[in-house]
Amino acid sequence: MSSGHKTVTGFCTVLLGLVLALVGLVVHWPVWAWAVATLVFAALALALPRLTTPAVDPLAHEFTAEPDRPTDPPERREHTVTDVVLPSAAEDYDFRFSATVRWWPQDLPKDSPPFSPVGVAVSAVLERARAVTESWQPERASLAQHRLVGELAVMLPDPAGRLLAMAENVTLGLAEADAVRLRKLATVRKDEVLWSHERRYERDRREYLGKDVLRDAGSAVVWWLAKNDDQIHKAVDDLGVLAQLSAAANDKDVPDRYAHLVPHRRTPETEDRPGGDPGHNGHHGMPHPCEPFTVNGSATPEPVNAFERLLATMDVPTGHEDSGVLARALHEGAAQVGREQATEAIRQRFDPGAAREPEPPDAHAEGGWADAPEV
């Protein structure tokens, strides 16, 4: 009997004695009743410890021949792998794989050779992960990670069927240097596609202007009417300008049937000819359509004047940025047919982006090298 049982037994015995004494005093027992109560109390005091004592276990550890053995610790069935290199669909760009591998042993025959569950489980999980990552492009690492999480979340047996394996806490990424390279390559590819579209757009515009709009005077008139279908009389007035522009775009002379419609500015040389007969050039006193005329002593090519008149017809100021766009388009269209020299002066005059070559000093001009004083 333990000390706790003894304490409880003594307390119950004393309590029972007090109850019997209290009952005897209240009822006024006779002497013989007190004697009987005393005998009953003594019998109960002797029997109470035996009744409250628990039964003894015959197989308790104090009755065994050997002491208790310590229990074996639980088998660890997980392992963490970090920064394992897995291939991607692009050569020289590998994924970095990290995860917590878990496994569950399977029942094996008694004659099966021993093996390391960690190695078998990790090998099985990495093989499953490699089968997924080798089909993904490296720039899709985040999407491939979610695909890999779902693939490795199921317990599947290894190839030999020795255990079931899965992976948790899966992370998949790229080395920082590879990520930077891929971002740069993506930017270059997008810029290249944009440049290719812009180049094709510019080429289509040149072909449209050179081979369609300015193919001949008739095409130029039709194009002008399509843009200004309510100004027929103005189109008739500008037939000479349009004929001159189409001729300049193709590096040809203005056809004879339009020559009398081409406006020309009279030059001082023409006015000073003997007898006032300006007809020596064969065009009734007017210079050849592509010959330069002089203004204030400086020669200006006729295509420039024709282009200025075309801009005025289209209500485009000479200094406006649209004049540079039209000049560049005309020059590029002429270049397509090998007549860019005819529009070079137009490009130099109206295209702000054209490179201007410095003019050599005129040795015969006033103040030039010829008039320099000798040293």
User: What's the confidence (pLDDT) of residue 58?
Assistant: 61
**Which stretches within 152-295 are classed as H helix?**
176-208, 217-227, 232-237, 239-249, 256-259, 268-271
Task: With a cut of 70, say whether residue 213 has pLDDT above it.
Answer: yes
Cβ proximity of 36 and 29 under 8 Å: no
Mean pLDDT over the full length of the chain: 76
**Residue 135 carries which side chain, given as an amino acid letter?**
S
User: What's the confidence (pLDDT) of residue 109?
Assistant: 78
Q: What is the pLDDT averaged over residues 348-370?
A: 52
User: What's the confidence (pLDDT) of residue 56?
Assistant: 59
pLDDT band at 344 (very low <50, low <70, confident <90, very high): confident
Task: With a cut of 50, say whether residue 24 has pLDDT above it.
Answer: yes
Helices (H) and strands (E) in the chain, counts: 13, 6
pTM: 0.43
> Residue 263 is encoded by which pair of tokens?
């406006």
| Burial class of residue 180 in the structure, from the number of CB atoms within 10 Å of its CB (0-12 exposed, 13-18 middle, 19+ buried) | exposed
* Cα angle for residues 119, 124, 126 (degrees, 5° grid): 95
Lowest mean pLDDT segment, chosen from 93-107, 225-239, 356-370: 356-370
The position carrying tokens 């540079």 is 324
Please give the residue that has the higher pLDDT: either 367 or 340: 340
Please give the residue that has the higher pLDDT: either 185 or 342: 185
Q: How crowded is the C-beta side of 115, counted as CA atoms within 13 Å?
A: 18
Task: With a cut of 70, say whether residue 372 has pLDDT above it.
Answer: no
Dist. CA 239–CA 10, nearest whole Å: 137
Whole-angstrom CA distances from 208 to 219, 225, 270, 315 are 11, 16, 39, 22
User: What's the confidence (pLDDT) of residue 367?
Assistant: 38
User: What's the confidence (pLDDT) of residue 5?
Assistant: 61
pLDDT tens figures, 186-196: 999 999 999 99
Dist. CA 102–CA 163, nearest whole Å: 10
User: What's the confidence (pLDDT) of residue 340?
Assistant: 76
Task: With a cut of 70, say whether residue 103 has pLDDT above it.
Answer: yes
User: What's the confidence (pLDDT) of residue 296?
Assistant: 38
pLDDT tens figures, 3-21: 666 676 777 777 777 777 7
User: What's the confidence (pLDDT) of residue 120?
Assistant: 93
In sign, the C-alpha dihedral spanning 264, 270, 276, 278 is negative
> Residue 355 is encoded by which pair of tokens?
């490179």
